[in-house]
Chain A
Amino acid sequence: MINDKQPLINSLDKNCSAVILLKSVHMGSFSPRGISFVNLRVLTAMIHVQNVSKHFGDLVAVDNISFQLEKGDVLGFLGPNGAGKTTTMRIITGYMPPTKGKVHVADVDIFEDPLTAKSHIGYLPENPPLYEEMIVTDYLDFVADIKKVPINEKKGRIHYVMEKCGIFDVGKRIIGHLSKGYRQRIGIAQALINDPSVLVLDEPTNGLDPRQIIEIRKLIKGLSGDRTIILSTHILPEVTMICSKVVIINEGKIVLEESLKRLSQKASDVENILLKTKYQGDEVREKILSIPNVSDIRSGPTNELIIQPKKGVDIREEVSELVIQNKWGLLELHPVAHNLEEVFLKVISSAGN
């Protein structure tokens, strides 16, 4: 039975079709996702969020979201401020219970057996949880204790995370006296101290200067591997750089969920065409717009035209013929890929309507 299923699971995993969950699509009734959910369950998801909602009074901060991650996945949890990222992460880490829904971490229900589930998790909250008056090594020692790191492994773990996060040279300094960059590293170090298989990082690069941001991103990249990482951010390029999957959340709802490879493919699926001609009269616009496969046209920043074709159609030939026929003087004609930024903004604004 299981052998029978295995190839199916793998193929689903690899080719899992781009699932776009726009506002109008109901999660529950979206059957392709339902099928993959049932099968992937056999593979023991490391994080499994099922129909989770969180209400604060009348405010719905998180609205019926579901996703799951396997070993080694690095998920970028992307959304504007107030989208519900922090709330979702607090629910996953067992800090607060959801109003509705279930969360499993390493196959353990976080609210039925919190101590076991929490022992698999490393968590960097939005603000690093630091005791200002402590010195760094004492602080890590304390965290190791409350994370139940065995006494004989404690010294080694502290050494390891300090080295990994580059905080050796401040080991004996008082935390309250350290810079924001160091404090963030100490925050990541404490999240790693129990060698967690699930790492939850809430906006790990927030408030850092550009050099520190690059360093922290490098650090996080180096942490992936067997670990399952969720990383929230409102900066899109961060996702491209670090993550293998992305979930975009807006106003508490998932508006897009897929692998990053898919997302970039999709971004280039609808390729816009950039056209620059010597002659720039209004009739250029009109004539191009009259090509059946063109859906939109707008002006670029330096007098060029950005032509948006209908989905999946290559219109370069038609456009170039038109230009040549009318002797407009072709200067430039090439595809411009949507960057992820555009996809992001599009997804969010279409969900907002």
Chain B
Amino acid sequence: MNAVYPILKRELRSYFASPLAYVILVVFQSISALFFLLYLKGLLHLQFDPSFHLFRGELNLNNVVVIPYFDTMSIVLLFIIPLITMRSLADERTSHTAELLFTSPIKLRDIILGKYLAALILLIIMLFLSSLNIIVLTVHGNPDLGAVFSSYLGLLLLGASFLSIGIFASSLSSSQLVSAIIAFGILLVLWLIGASSDTESSILGYISLINHFENFGKGIIELKDLAYYFSMIYIGLFLTHVALDSERWR
């Protein structure tokens, strides 16, 4: 039997045994609903504002609500994901269970994968709940569903990359707070180097997490963007493996 499943199961249970997971879900849901209403209200205002008369063609649900909404969500994830991953490995140290895990006949790879997948499931639940906002849109309007779908895929991939980096940060410290700060720091840097060099052709622009997110908002799913996020996830998990291995090799 593979060890990924028991690790994943325990990890998910422990998320929901503490109030933290519920707090995160509620906060994320509230913030996303709030921004959604804000953008929707903005659209109504603009439509009745005579000075925007000439741009009426541009003032559709997609440009004024859907795209800004997903952009905002991506930034909210930047803040929330370090809170999801901070305990992942840091906690195993403080509760001394690291010694149980690392002396059990299971591979380090399976431990990391189990933990990662548990965090991913929490992310999926989070995104699923927030999709209620969009469902409201489809009842009363007609957003570009293709763009909505690809935006969700983009958000999921972006979040999945954040998680992988967050778990790496968690492997570096035994303090939850420190690991959350490290995760946030790394994510912010990866984000900012994109803002400072927005051409994708430059190396920094390519590394940037956010540059690869833009296409998804326009309803475009490109292989290079998928490849980028999957390699981000792989690199994060690989570095976690290296960190955990070398810590004991010191």
Question: For B1, B98, B107, which residue has the most chain A Cβ atoms within 10 angstroms?
Answer: B1
CB-contact partner of A115 in B5, B96, B105, B248, under 8 A = B105
Q: A145-B3, A145-B6 are in contact. Are A130 and B95 (CB under 8 A)?
A: yes
- Establish whether residues A133 and B17, one from each chain, have CB atoms under 8 Å apart when the complex forms: yes
Distance to closest chain A CB from B247 (angstroms): 9
A144-170: which residues lie under 8 A (CB-CB) from chain B? 145-148, 151
Question: For A129, A132, A148, A190, which residue has the most chain B Cβ atoms within 10 angstroms?
Answer: A129
Distance to closest chain A CB from B12 (angstroms): 12
Q: A96-B249, A142-B10, A146-B7 are in contact. Are A131 and B104 (CB under 8 A)?
A: no
Could you say which residues of chain B place their CB within 8 Å of the CB of A123? Answer: 99-100, 103
Could you say which residues of chain A place their CB within 8 Å of the CB of B106? Answer: 115, 146, 148
Interface string of B169-193 (1 = CB under 8 A from A): 0000000000000000000000000
Complex: A148 Cα to B96 Cα, angstroms:
20
Interface string of B35-65 (1 = CB under 8 A from A): 0000000000000000000000000000000
Could you say which residues of chain A place their CB within 8 Å of the CB of B14? Answer: 131, 133-134
The segment from A87-95, A260-268, A344-352 found at the interface with B is A87-95
Could you say which residues of chain A place their CB within 8 Å of the CB of B7? Answer: 146
- B97 interfacial contact with A, CB 8 Å: yes
Interface size class of A (residues with CB under 8 A): 20 to 34
CB-contact partner of A127 in B5, B9, B96, B105, under 8 A = B96
- Establish whether residues A146 and B95, one from each chain, have CB atoms under 8 Å apart when the complex forms: no
Could you say which residues of chain A place their CB within 8 Å of the CB of B9? Answer: 142
CB-contact partner of A146 in B3, B13, B98, B249, under 8 A = B3
- Establish whether residues A129 and B248, one from each chain, have CB atoms under 8 Å apart when the complex forms: no
Distance to closest chain A CB from B118 (angstroms): 13
A95-126: which residues lie under 8 A (CB-CB) from chain B? 95-97, 114-116, 118-119, 121, 123, 125-126
Complex: A93 Cα to B100 Cα, angstroms:
10
Could you say which residues of chain B place their CB within 8 Å of the CB of A148? Answer: 1, 3, 105-106
DSSP class of A's interface residues: helix, strand, loop or mixed?
A: loop
Could you say which residues of chain A place their CB within 8 Å of the CB of B224? Answer: none
Could you say which residues of chain B place their CB within 8 Å of the CB of A121? Answer: 103
Distance to closest chain B CB from A120 (angstroms): 9
Distance to closest chain B CB from A157 (angstroms): 15
A234-293: which residues lie under 8 A (CB-CB) from chain B? none
B79-105: which residues lie under 8 A (CB-CB) from chain A? 95-105
Could you say which residues of chain A place their CB within 8 Å of the CB of B103? Answer: 93-95, 118, 121, 123
- Establish whether residues A132 and B105, one from each chain, have CB atoms under 8 Å apart when the complex forms: no
CB-contact partner of B96 in A96, A119, A129, A151, under 8 A = A129
Distance to closest chain A CB from B115 (angstroms): 13
CB-contact partner of B100 in A94, A119, A126, A143, under 8 A = A143
Complex: A119 Cα to B96 Cα, angstroms:
20
Distance to closest chain B CB from A134 (angstroms): 8
Could you say which residues of chain A place their CB within 8 Å of the CB of B107? Answer: 115
CB-contact partner of A147 in B17, B96, B105, under 8 A = B105
Could you say which residues of chain A place their CB within 8 Å of the CB of B17? Answer: 133-134
Distance to closest chain A CB from B203 (angstroms): 37
Interface string of B109-131 (1 = CB under 8 A from A): 00000000000000000000000
- Establish whether residues B96 and A95, one from each chain, have CB atoms under 8 Å apart when the complex forms: no
Could you say which residues of chain A place their CB within 8 Å of the CB of B96? Answer: 125-130
Distance to closest chain A CB from B124 (angstroms): 22
Could you say which residues of chain A place their CB within 8 Å of the CB of B248? Answer: 95-97
Distance to closest chain A CB from B11 (angstroms): 10
17 contacts between A and B (CB under 8 A): A95-B248, A115-B106, A118-B104, A123-B103, A128-B96, A129-B96, A129-B98, A130-B95, A133-B17, A134-B10, A138-B13, A142-B10, A145-B5, A146-B3, A146-B104, A147-B105, A148-B1
* Given A134-B10, A145-B1, A146-B105; 9 other pairs, CB 8 A cutoff: A90-B99, A96-B249, A129-B99, A129-B100, A133-B14, A133-B17, A146-B100, A146-B101, A146-B104
A interface residues with partner B (beta carbon < 8 Å):
56, 90, 93-97, 114-116, 118-119, 121, 123, 125-134, 138, 142-143, 145-148, 151, 190
